[in-house]
Amino acid sequence: MKKVKIWRNLGMSLLFLLAFFLIKLNTASAQENQEIGFSYRNIPVKNQLSSGSFFDLMMKPGQKQALLTEITNTSNEEIVIKVTVSNATTAESGIINYSPSNAKNTDELKPSLKELAKVPKTITIPKGATRNLKIELTMPKEKFAGILLGGIQLEQVITESEDNNKKKDQSFVSSQFAYVYSISLRESKEEQKIELTYLDSQFQSTTEGERVVTRFSNDSAAIVKGMQVEAEITAKNSEKVLISKKTSNLKMAPQSIIDFSMDTKDLEEGQTYKLHMTVTQNGKKWRWVKKITKQSKNQSKSITKQKTIFIAKQPTNRMKVLLYFVGGSIAIWMGTWLLYRVCRKFL
């Protein structure tokens, strides 16, 4: 009888541990949404090519379609959401950026998502309520090849009074959060040939130091994946490598420009060097050798940083299931271990 009671108590303890962990997990998720102030969910459509918290659509010339995004206010007050449509660009780190940025696209980006997607500038959502963001797409009448890529950014508007109230709180850290999801449009699944073009190289002076930035473009209406860049700087009349850099697994948005930077603090001012760059993607290589001259610090282009907005990740159902599975496994393991220890002691 004593053994049965011990096993029953251990079983109840194990269930309690599992329930406690799952409750804490849900509470943490709710607190995260509370800090951001809202959450979103995209309504699936029939012409969606792949599933996820984004829109990947097969379209037709001249087609008109309305996309809906549910936005839920998880805060305790009315909020205003700023909606921004952006064309996809390529960040310096070699990732595709779907939010507003200083990165550029090529002149060949026509049409663009900013031209085809119509959205309201802001949406006001009462406390605890849900409102639909309507994205109206109008495709050009002429057929286009490749992928048209961009993104929607959802950012809560902070009023001056709210900002002042938060700053009075000693725990407040001045930062902004936003959700961003992608929209990709295509009219066929035909693959596009990747073409990269060297644009220019220039020395820049930043708060982190001096660097040389080489710009090259993806001229195709296709996403570049698995790109590797190898760059070396040598003296003008020598093959001795002074500076080198190699990066792998880079991506580029369709018809976008990437800034590839290298630290040049050890190079002398007023001297001319040679830049050797090789870009490899899917077995194809592009090689460029260019002369570059390092100007004085006063002549180098000065770069200032743009405003930083932290992009929050919308948790997917698959991610939640994974978290529950891991949490449950940990709880069961802990319970089994405790059970083993008790059994050794009393049985």
Query: For the domain that residue 265 is a member of, what is the CATH number?
Result: 2.60.40.10
Mean pLDDT, to the nearest integer, of 190-203?
A: 95
> How many residues make up the chain in this entry?
347
Position 288 pLDDT exceeds 50: yes
Position 165 pLDDT exceeds 70: no
Q: Domain check: are 54 and 150 in the same one?
A: yes
pLDDT band at 51 (very low <50, low <70, confident <90, very high): confident
Q: Domain check: are 15 and 35 in the same one?
A: no
Q: Domain check: are 97 and 50 in the same one?
A: yes
**Taking the model in full, what pTM does it have?**
0.76
Q: In degrees rounded to 5, what are phi and psi of residue 120?
A: -70, 150
Structural domain of residue 215, as residue ranges?
196-302
Q: Domain check: are 334 and 297 in the same one?
A: no
State both tokens at 250: 């880079």
pLDDT band at 170 (very low <50, low <70, confident <90, very high): very low
Helix/strand/coil for 14: helix
Q: Domain check: are 151 and 283 in the same one?
A: no
Position 216 pLDDT exceeds 50: yes
For 247-257, the pLDDT digits (tens) are: 999 999 999 99
Domain total of the chain? 3
Residues facing residue 226 across a β-bridge: none
Q: Domain check: are 71 and 148 in the same one?
A: yes
Q: Domain check: are 177 and 219 in the same one?
A: no
Position 229 pLDDT exceeds 70: yes
pLDDT band at 10 (very low <50, low <70, confident <90, very high): low
Q: Domain check: are 114 and 157 in the same one?
A: yes
Position 333 pLDDT exceeds 90: no
| Nearest CA among 70, 96, 119, 83 for reference residue 222 | 96
State both tokens at 303: 């770069």
Kindly give the residue spans of alpha helices, DSSP state H, lying in the chain: 2-36, 113-116, 160-168, 317-346
Q: Domain check: are 148 and 287 in the same one?
A: no
DSSP string, 77-101: S-EEEEEEEEE-EE-TTS-EE-S--
Position 25 pLDDT exceeds 80: no
Q: Domain check: are 275 and 242 in the same one?
A: yes
Residue 187: how many other CB atoms lie within 10 Å:
19
Position 264 pLDDT exceeds 80: yes
pLDDT mean across residues, the chain: 82
Position 297 pLDDT exceeds 50: yes
pLDDT band at 128 (very low <50, low <70, confident <90, very high): very high
Lowest mean pLDDT among 25-29, 161-165, 234-238, 294-298: 25-29
Q: Domain check: are 24 and 7 in the same one?
A: yes
Q: What is the distance, to the nearest Å, from the Cα of residue 100 to the centroid of all Cα atoms in its chain?
A: 11
**pLDDT in the model for residue 295:** 79
Euclidean distance between CA atoms 339 and 86, whole angstroms? 56
Q: Which amino acid is at 279?
A: V
Position 27 pLDDT exceeds 50: no
Q: Domain check: are 144 and 64 in the same one?
A: yes
**pLDDT in the model for residue 162:** 54
